[in-house]
Structure 1
Amino acid sequence: MATKIPTEILIKILKNVQSFRSTKDLYSSLLVNRIWCKVTIPILWELPLGQECHADDKELRKKSLCIRTYISYQDYNSNSNNNKNESRILFREMCKLIINRCSYLNYFKLARVTKNFSKNFDNYSDSIGSILKLPGAPKVFKKLETFISEANDELYRPLYGLFTLICNNILNMELKINSYSYDQVQLLAKLIIVQKRLENLTIIDNRYTDCNLLFWAIISQKEKLKSLRLKKLYYNRYMEKLQPIGQFTSLQELYIENCYGLYNSDCLSLASSFTQLSRFHYFHSSYSNKCPQRFIIKILKTANINLRNIYLELYPAITFETFSAILNYCTKIIKLTLLNLRPEQVIEIFNNNFNELRRFSFGCGKGLDANKLLCQMAKNVPESLETIEIRMGIFSANSLRKFFEGWCCCKGGGENKKIIVKRTVQTWLTLSDEHFKVIEEYGVQFNIEE
């Protein structure tokens, strides 16, 4: 008969067994009997939060995902008939547990919560904001490096204000604005301004709020930002400022999608600030009122040969002036994506001596003679071109062969070349055995993507 071990002794033994690198022994102890299982379960649940995180320990980072399980239980509890006060107390105690067992947090995300959860905390937003007032919270949040917010502003507004006082070393920030609240914009602008080493900033506005304050907050980080992504921001007018904007001395990547108001003339001073830009992505859909052509051209002219990666999708088409700016100023381009082009513009790209162009992606509208275009492209393919991505109509196997002859020079010489065809399921059916025979002859990598 097995000797019985007192529960107190068993707890001490199993706690010595635990390791932040391995929990196999603890999992085995679950199967001994009910007493061992009852003792082991609390230790396993505490384990991910009871060890100091090592930056190179990916396994421990995975274990820390249990925090999401704890939070999700709170959501389940809020949907039950428990007293609302009990729900708020439970939420606070879980936050205390996490803070007490963390040396620091480097990633924090405020997700949008369910309707019932939000209802339970309605008029008690101080319960959320008080997280940063818990003992030890300022120390834990001080080293925060990544902050993502896609939350309801009413519920989390007190939290934004405290973040401004505590978290000033954030490297990566993604902010989603989901209301017309001026107060929220003001708080988020302050949070951006106080950062000492902000490198990557994304702002997405789903309501087209007037975001002038955010523009000036962005400008305050002009010497630190390396990547800036803006989507659906609404610019009305610059607030009166006496000092000049200056240059974004570190910004390498600029991504803009459907931002209104950039066509105003006073935005040109902002466009002239991106002198070190190497990657520029601009998307303008058919739902926008006016494309900021002068703003785009000014960026191309200012960044000039520093631009190595350009993506432009402008509706209804890329204008002559914008296209000419690319040809004249961006001669060191490596990766170029231009949608809604005319066939003659495609040929101009090939004739413009882009000696460093490695990837070219383009799309042309309906009514295009794809066979004619492929044959024209074959006459002057840049030697540096490694990948070409096309969005156009049906082309024959003979036209594809002529293009490969101009691109690869000889059969079997396309081992380092790749062609990607962006097509629909219907056009995929038009590729014949002859097409694939040509592809095999020249050894070109060939992909079809929908």
Structure 2
Amino acid sequence: MEKGANETAWETRLIEAAMYIALGFLSAGLLALAVLPAIYKRAVRLTREAMIATNPISYREVRAAQDAERARYAIALNRSEQALKDAGETAARYRAEAGQLKADGLRLKVELEQQLDQERRAMEAELTERSGTATKRLRQDLKAARKQLALTETELKKARSELEDAAAAHQTAPESSATGAPPARTPEAETVELATIAALESQIAQLKAQLAASGERNGTNPAHQIDTAAEALQKTVARLETELIEAETKYISAQAEVARLLADRRPQDTAGAKLEKKLRSELKEADDRRSSLVSELQHRDRLLQRALGQIERLRGELRTAPELAAIRTDMQTLVKLISNSPADALSSPQKPDETANQGQVSSPAGNPVAGLPDNPATTQSASALVKRIMKAQRASAPPPAHPPDQPSGSGPDRQPEKAQAEAASVKTKNKDVA
């Protein structure tokens, strides 16, 4: 009896030690499962920081930089278009002013030529009219004076002939007195004839003076009047030529102003061309920068897609990892063994002798554990579980990163939660067993 009691106590101590060992391994596994999420989160954070370090610009920032570059390109293009528009308006205004000045010069020249032609025609007509009237009047006066002069000369000739006759008669008077004939003329008659001759000569002189006075009043003579009119016409022509010269001077100054405006416009056109060339070069540089940014963005998109593919691949590897599947299977087996063994031991309250006998009978392999035929398998499963947990910890030290928008209901995040739930159920069953 004493020997059987000792064997029973030894078996009880052995079972208790095995249970403590199993509980230790189980607690270690539960602690490992509790620490795994923190390790996983740290790995995710480190991986994200590494990706940010390799790619410091996010997709939104790249798009923002691209939009900013496009905005700068649009602003530069708008400024260049505005500058070209202003230069075109300035050139058009200068062209309009030059055309207006040229048209004014031509119009002024035409007006002056027309005015000169009209004044010349008017002067010629007036001169022709005045010369014709004066010539006609002078001719009439000259004709009348000539007629009067002819009459006076005729009377003078008649008087002279009478005087000659009287003189001849006076010379022949002594002969006639000697012969006793009476004289032909008396001294009184001669005096009358001389007075008549003097009167006729004075009348002739008066007619000549009157003719001279009429000539002076009417321009002395037609030739002098024509010369005077010609001089007046020459003065008018000279004045009109002076005005024409002034008009031509104004036209030349207008042409010089047009040339100056064109010369001023050429530097502006040159400046506009330089500005356009500069803006085109800037636009080309902006296009090159835009192309480089687009290529860099595409390169980063490819890197991002590659990283996402690698993350998905690592997630698949984690989901299909044999170590995790084996750990999960071993945990389930261990939980079943622990939950079934105490229940079988407590379900048959027998005496120590009977328990010992049953243990001796039911232990063909020499194991003195009564009612627990699977305890060696439990121990092996616990040791294998600990090894696999350590191996999984070492393997999960650099876990792959995943985007922050991954749903929490899928992926490897759920595996620690399942393990924690299983560990909680094991603790509950152990408490019930205790």
TM bin (shorter chain): under 0.3
Greater fraction helix: 2
TM-score (norm 1): 0.14
**Bigger RCO (CA 8 Å, 6+ sep):** 2
Greater fraction strand: 1
